[in-house]
Structure 1
Amino acid sequence: MCAFAVGDMKGVPPENDPNKRKDAETRPLNPQLAEIASNGTPGKSWSPVVVAGLARLCEFFLLLMAGVAIAEWHVVPVWGRSLDYYLATAAMAAMAVVALQALGLYATSVLRAPIRHGLKIAAGWSTVFALALAILFFFQLGGSFSRIWLLSWYVVGLAILAVERLTVAMIVRRLTHQGKLDRRTVIVGGGALADPVLRELAAQDDGDLRILGVFDDRTDERSPDMVAGYPKLGTVDDLVAFARHTRIDLVIFTLPISAEARLLQMLRKLWVLPIDIRLAAHTNKLRFRPRSYSYIGDVPVIDVFDKPIADWDVVVKNVFDRVVGALCLLLASPIMALVAIAVKLDSPGPVFFKQRRHGFNNEVIEVYKFRSMFTDQLDPQAVKQVTRHDPRVTRVGRIIRKTSLDELPQLFNVVLEGSLSLVGPRPHAIVCRAADKLYDEVVDGYFARHRVKPGITGWAQINGWRGETDTPEKIQKRVEHDLYYIENWSILFDIYILAMTPFALIKAENAY
């Protein structure tokens, strides 16, 4: 992954007009893009890596259970239970997964067409048994294992793999039909260089890449309206706005490396998006070692940016959020009940308060909080930040804001809605300001913090950057910490931040 300095993207030409940055995020879509965005596009996708991983796990456990079940049926009643059978069953089931992986039988295109690859699947399973028989022969272990057990497991295993692969194929085809396995792709840079890339990508037969069109800032004859049958959809600014309305998974640049200034200028606009960015390399005269490239089909590309927290990381983080969040919600429920009673007794009005904030990929979400202000002075848009001795805040409100108890209802966002994570960049209100300027006008690259799901607590908060952001320096530091968290995320990092959060709340330096 290409590394750029946090905040100012070192090496990228600065764009001095903050309004231009804002327009790229909020500009309306042209009719062509609006039609594509509203044309039944799936909001969420399934990662092919996760689908293949689930298929591996499924096959391992099915083969394992089949071997154990046959041993229980045939071996145990006659010879009793033996640890050797269970160890051999687990080892051979794992070897089967490795063999099928080595034969390339977990690719999405293969999972969609099991009958076409049936002989290779049978060959992989047969190879495992041939290897097992060879080990039994050379180590003279033939008397230790039942031949009926081996033969029965081999036949039943073939049947299980056949049924399982046909079932997986039905699921994968359905996901493909729904567009949830498509890798939605756009090309940046039209003209002669884009033409061979588009033709080569379109010629791939795995069907996972769905090319939407071409974006290019040039408006002269070097960038025609159609390239290899794909339409030019707009400029790079249009692409940023488009990515906020529909799912885009991959951006491929077809610019030569020699066009460094133009390339960096475009990257500076796109790096804030939660997408993979690649630079097509097969048209460049400058050649690197083969290991320097990754490949999309047969097209060599250079990895520029990777979508943060992708594939299995998304699964792990979501499971962690739901399980640990539910536990936290259960443990915090007595405290939440007491806070709710205190809020209700302190001033008239509802107990809870909903505020619209920016979530993942700039989508607007509603975040739950305990009401801490007088009902007639609520500020749903957070036009004015809460300051020390703010008269809008109730007596109970001062306490729960100082201790962050007002944030506890956001556990509902985590556990029930999934719009928040336990750990991540804190979600800011849509019109939050620092020194009378919107955050994105103060901090270059501000929207990059929305490449991941926001959280109840975060790296910035445990480092003291919470509460009022009345100066540009405060919001700058908060965003720097948020971007550091995104680039260095791990589940252990999340656990550390959660563990340190109570100690950070004790200080409560900037929370009013």
Structure 2
Amino acid sequence: MPDCASPLVDAPAARTGAAQAAASKDAAQGRAARGPFRPDVWLNARQRSGVRLAAHYFRATDVLALTGLGVAALGVAAPDGFLSLSLAEAAPTAAGAATVLGLLRGLGLYRFGRERSAARHMAAVLGVTLSGAVVATGLGLLLDRQAPDRQSLDAAIAWAIGAVALIAGLHALWLSFVARWRRQGALAPNIVIVGATKHAEAVIRSALERRDLNVLGVFDDRLSRSPDRVAGVPVLGDAEALLNHRMTPYVDRIVLAIDAQGGSRVRELTRRLETLPNPLTVLVDSETGDAALERLASAPLAPLEGPQDPDRRAFNKRLQDLLIGAAALVAAAPIMALTALAIRLDSPGPIFFRQRRHGFNQEEIVVWKFRSMRHEAADATASRQVSAGDDRVTRVGRFIRATSLDELPQLFNVMTGEMSLVGPRPHAIGMKTGETESARLVAEYAHRHRIKPGMTGWAAVKGSRGPLHDATDVRRRVQLDLDYVERQSLWLDLRILLVTLPVLLGDRAAVR
């Protein structure tokens, strides 16, 4: 329906409406030409991961809101100031907040699944907040009878009224966010299917009915015998094309839909596709369409909250990046200002050097550094790695590279979420080791992109820093990076951060 739905429409407006209807029809035909279902808003895997973690941000906001409300209620109720309150007077609001927060999580009200309607969700939220209000006011009444001169009951009543309205309003807002993301397809996994088979067609037709998957395209290694489309989804190339396709940063999962009889073909495709950072799922023809779709739609990206452990780990890592990164940015601001001035006085050219590198899931990101080379000799593709006594490096550049001060602007990449404080170091796209592209020297090279790149990392503190001179260097760094990807935790990150500065400053032999 158009936004202006008045029954009184003049002739020009009618013509405009007809034109809009024609445009809508053309747009619909365009959508059909590129496949029956794709996300309205294209988000890469990193951005979609941020959407998936929204439930943790919602919960953190609820905690802060109830805490702030409790402080305000106690402050208003205390005639002699907030600091004059006793623990007993604060107990009712604390008990009420704990009840609300515990029930919200215990009843799964941060999952926002399709199985619970918005009305049922809001009814459950109101029930939870009323339960917390009863606990707070009941405890406040009990304490008021024991000590009538205290203000615990007044504070509890004020908090209870505010909590019901505040949490209900916040969850109405959370539901609106979730509904918009769901309409845009941001909560449905993005998949590509390898194999233009009848099995793939059955999966696509089932997905069309369910609408809980975004099928971006089909790839088939036998193009001469494959159709142009499979159930309306375009065939975009062969399996080799998928390895270098610009779509891969937007793909959450690769689905191999090959007939089980072709065992050698399945093994060969699996071996080739496992070099990508995207998870790979093999569907066997014994699975029905609904069973296959249920398995894919329940993959980690499908629910908003998802499996608790990976999402909790990702949320903690992002929180760590924001808190420590912001503090580091403030602390390093004077040093960064002096470094920028020194670069400006030392040689002509811009202060910053920007280079395209691979980020999470092979997303192309622009990494910021202080310029350490002569501007005319800058090497954006790292086709020639830095060597000892490199004549491209300026006088200030030698100092800031030796002390790693040139890396400080990457704090901006951390704050925007493109990088993390700790992770595999981002390599330039097309970086070469000798005459060969580094990514071609190790089959598992792209697996290091299964996590965000970092300013420092396990490989860096283990001595694998600077240029990669041969295939052995590449293999060692990739192995260290993969060790980190498997072991990543909050405590390992903190350990790496603590030892980074001593390791970097003590490593005088490294060429950087």
Q: Normalization by structure 2: what TM-score?
A: 0.71
2:22 aligned residue: none
Deviation at 1:225, TM superposition (A): 6.2
**Partner of 1:6 in structure 2?**
none
Q: Please give the per-residue CA displacement for 1:349-404, whole angstroms capped at 9, x wherever unaligned.
A: 44443333333333444333333334443333332222223333334433333333
Q: 1:466 to 1:295 in 2, by over 3 A?
A: same
**Secondary structure in 2 aligned to 1:498?**
helix
CA distance in 2, matches of 1:101, 1:413: 32
Give unmatched runs, 5+ long, in structure 1: 1-30, 286-293
Contact 1:281 1:301 in 2 (8 A): no
SS of the residue 1:166 aligns to? helix
Map of 1:474 onto structure 2: 473
Find the counterpart in structure 2 of residue 354 from structure 1.
354
Deviation at 1:320, TM superposition (A): 2.8
**Matched residue type, 1:379:** D
- Do the aligned residues in 2 keep the contact of 1:355 with 1:380 (CA within 8 Å)? yes
Q: In the superposition, relative to structure 1, how do residues 194 and 151 fare at CA in structure 2: closer, same or farther (>3 Å)?
A: farther
Residue 106 of structure 1 aligns with an amino acid whose one-letter code is: Y
Q: SS at 2:54's partner residue? A: helix
Residues 36 and 168 (structure 1), Cα distance of their counterparts in 2 relative to 1, 3 Å cut: closer
Q: CA deviation at 1:468?
A: 2.5
* Structure 2 residue 464 is matched with structure 1 residue 460: no
Aligned to 2:214: 210
1:386 counterpart residue number: 386
2:169 aligns with one of 163, 168, 171: 163
| 1:114 lines up with 2:118 in the alignment | yes
Q: Which residue of 1 aligns with 2:373?
A: 373
Q: Which residue of 2 aligns with 1:397?
A: 397
Q: Secondary structure at the match of 2:399?
A: helix
User: Does the alignment pair 1:283 with 2:289?
Assistant: no
Superposition map of 1:134-283 within 5 A: 158-189=164-195, 191-194=197-200, 197-198=203-204, 201-204=207-210, 208-217=212-221, 232-242=235-245, 244=247, 247-254=250-257, 261-280=264-283, 283=286
Look up the equivalent residue of 1:175 and give its one-letter code: W
In the TM superposition, 1:408-419 aligns within 5 A as 408-415=408-415, 417-419=416-418
How far 1:440 moved relative to its partner? 1.6
Aligned residue-pair number: 463
Secondary structure of 2:48's partner?
coil
Q: Does residue 504 in structure 1 map to residue 503 in structure 2?
A: yes
Give the AA of the match of 1:381: T
Aligned to 1:432: 431
Q: Which whole-Å CA distance do the structure 1 matches of 2:406 and 2:499 have between them?
A: 19
The residue number in structure 2 matching 1:93 is 97
Matched to 1:327, the amino acid is: A
1:314-329 to 2 correspondence within 5 Å?
314-329=314-329
Contact 2:40 2:185 in 1 (8 A): no
Partner of 1:21: none
The aligned residue for residue 487 of structure 2 is 488
The structure whose residues are more often helix, as a share, is: 2
Aligned to 1:450: 449
Provide the secondary structure at the position in 1 that maps to 2:472.
Answer: helix
Residues 111-135 of structure 1, C-alpha deviations (whole Å, 9 max, x = no match): 98422444444455566678x69x9
Letter in 2 for 1:464: G
Per the normalisation by structure 1, the TM-score is: 0.71
Letter in 2 for 1:384: R
Is contact 2:259–2:285 with CA below 8 Å preserved after alignment? no
Aligned counterpart for 2:56 among listed residues 48, 53, 57 = 53
**Which residue matches 1:288?**
none
Task: Tell me if the contact between 1:256 and 1:283 (Cα under 8 Å) persists in the aligned partners.
Answer: no
Structure 2: distance between partners of 1:297 and 1:142 = 54
Secondary structure of the corresponding residue to residue 250 of structure 2: coil
2:369 partner SS? strand
Deviation at 1:51, TM superposition (A): 2.9
What letter is aligned with 1:114?
Answer: A
Q: How far does the alpha carbon of each residue in 1:209-264 deviate from its partner, in whole angstroms, 9 at most, with x for none? A: 3333544445698x776666655554444444446465222344455888665444
Q: 1:421 aligns to what?
A: 420
Native 8 Å contact 1:187 1:215 kept in 2: yes
Shift of 1:483: 1.7
Q: Which has the higher contact order (CA 8 A, sep 6+)?
A: 1
**Corresponding letter in the other structure for 1:499:** L
Residues 133 and 164 in structure 2, CA contact (< 8 A), matched pair in contact too: no
Kept in 2, the 8 Å contact 1:185–1:251? The answer is: yes
Aligned 8 A contact 1:186 1:215 in 2: yes
Q: Where does structure 2 lack aligned partners over 5 or more consecutive residues?
A: 1-31, 301-305
What is the one-letter code of the residue matched to 2:214?
R
**Equivalent residue number for residue 289 of structure 1:** none
The answer (yes or no) to whether the contact 1:197–1:299 under 8 Å persists in 2 is: no
Describe the SS at the equivalent of 1:212: strand
CA distance in 2, matches of 1:382, 1:56: 43
Deviation at 1:32, TM superposition (A): 7.1
Aligned CA distance change for structure 1 residues 269 and 76 (closer, same or farther; 3 Å): farther
In the alignment, the residues of structure 2 paired with residue 410 and residue 453 of structure 1 have an alpha-carbon distance, to the nearest angstrom, of: 13
Question: Which shows bigger deviation, 60-69 or 346-355?
Answer: 60-69
Q: Secondary structure at the match of 1:115?
A: helix
- Contact kept in structure 2, 1:216 and 1:236, CA below 8 Å: yes
- Is the contact made by 1:186 and 1:214 (CA closer than 8 Å) also made in structure 2? yes
